[in-house]
Amino acid sequence: MKPVHAAPPTGRATLADIARESGMSRSTVSRALAGNGYVSPVKKQLILATAERLGYRVSTLARALRTQRSMTLGVLVADITNPLFPAIVKGIDEVVSAAGYTLFLCNTDEKSRRQQTLIRSLLDRQVDGLIMVSQTLSAESRKLLFPGPPCVFVNRRPARLSADYIGPDNLQAIALLLGHLHGLGHRRIAFIAGPSHSSTARERKDAYLAQMSRLGCAVPKGYLIEGDYQASSGRRAAERLLNCVPRPSAVLAANDFVALEVINALNAHGLSVPGDISVCGFDDAFGVHFTALASLQAKGLTTVTQPKRELGQAAARAMLMRLDQPQTAVCQTLLPVGLQIRDTSGEPAEMATSG
């Protein structure tokens, strides 16, 4: 009786089961359960009751195959253990899960091979959209993505490509930092940039040069160093900065990890922070922790706070909007950042002694 060509059975009740039990057709049952199309109230009641009784659960898979909408989104992050990213992912999740989407979360580890593989896998899974958090898009990845489902970029944006983008206001961030240091009396301010493949890093570097010039501060040879966001690059940069003539009185680091390692290196050379040199970070990666750690008399790092959760929420909203109306103009949003002044920035040594 049973067909011979059967796939392994699910064990779950299906529309057909409900149809049989309630004596109606699958179409009617489908309409009743999905809530679209006409179905008489009395039959609807019966169908819902039967579904309940049989413990019916829809197969999102089958629905997705039929409707060509999976109600899933892919999220790529560089490294979920970097405190910056969970906060962003949480913001995304809050917004899209309320809209019925579920997230595939993937780690790229900053590897372009892995990025490619993951994008391919997500496309094979027919995600309705992709959110790329701090991803530098490789040429291959780009080919995979365009044409393709909607894609929203957070933090980093792809070069020469008009796409939805949500990021921090890097110009403001640098202006805040330099304004703070300049106000304290610093004129010799060095900058450890992020890797040049990162659009965020490039924007900050350009902003640094522009603002320094606006403030009338020279940028001597050696003051601008390219690092890679890793703590280790902080150590190398610090060594080089100590050999600069004149020696900088303040250093902006690409992020907080780098900043802490710079401080370590300076201490190792017998220099105190901020007594001899001020150091500022970026991201406020340890935000909550610094506050919590106040109890341990920790010094706090002066740094820029990113609106992490809001970045995620905005990206999610941009995605939902794009899914709803694919043809609207791309949105590019910059969110304001904050300056968190703590204990690693102070007056330059010459002023402190002379004043």
Binding site for DNA (CB under 7 A): 3-7, 9-10, 12, 14-16, 24-28, 30-31, 33-34, 36-40, 43, 56-59, 62-63, 65-68
Residue 299 near residue 274 (C-beta atoms within 8 A): no
Determine how many CB atoms are found less than 10 A away from the CB of residue 58. Answer: 14
Q: Which does 248 bind (CB under 5 to 8 A by kind): its own copies, DNA, none?
A: none
Among residues 164, 104, 121, the alpha carbon closest in space to that of 314 is found at 164
How many Å apart are CA 149 and CA 124, to the nearest integer?
A: 12
Say if strands 250-252 and 303-305 run parallel, antiparallel, or are unpaired.
unpaired
Q: Which is nearer to DNA, 29 or 311 (CB)?
A: 29
Among residues 223, 220, 353, the alpha carbon closest in space to that of 275 is found at 353
Candidate ranges 39-47, 60-68, 205-213, 244-252; the one touching its own copies (CB under 8 A): 60-68
Q: How many residues does the chain have?
A: 355
Among 61, 139, 245, 329, binds its own copies (CB under 8 A): 61
Q: Which does 243 bind (CB under 5 to 8 A by kind): DNA, its own copies, none?
A: none
**List of residues 6+ apart from 135 with CB closer than 8 A:** 76, 78, 108, 115, 141, 153, 156
- Residues 180-239 touching its own copies, rule: CB under 8 A, are 231
Strand, helix or coil at 324?
A: helix
CB-count exposure of residue 276 (10 Å: 0-12, 13-18, 19+): middle
- Residues 68-127 touching its own copies, rule: CB under 8 A, are 68, 70, 72, 79-81, 83, 85-87, 89-90, 93, 97, 102-107, 120-126
Taking the complex as a whole, the smallest distance from the CB of residue 38 to its own copies amounts, in Å, to 19
Among 16, 34, 49, 62, binds its own copies (CB under 8 A): 62
Q: Which does 263 bind (CB under 5 to 8 A by kind): DNA, its own copies, none?
A: its own copies
For residue 263, the Cα-to-chain-centroid distance in whole angstroms is 27
Among 15, 76, 225, 263, binds its own copies (CB under 8 A): 263
Query: In the complex, which residues of this chain contact its own copies (CB under 8 A)?
Result: 7-10, 57-62, 64-68, 70, 72, 79-81, 83, 85-87, 89-90, 93, 97, 102-107, 120-126, 231, 257, 260-261, 263-264, 267, 273, 286, 289, 292-301, 343-344
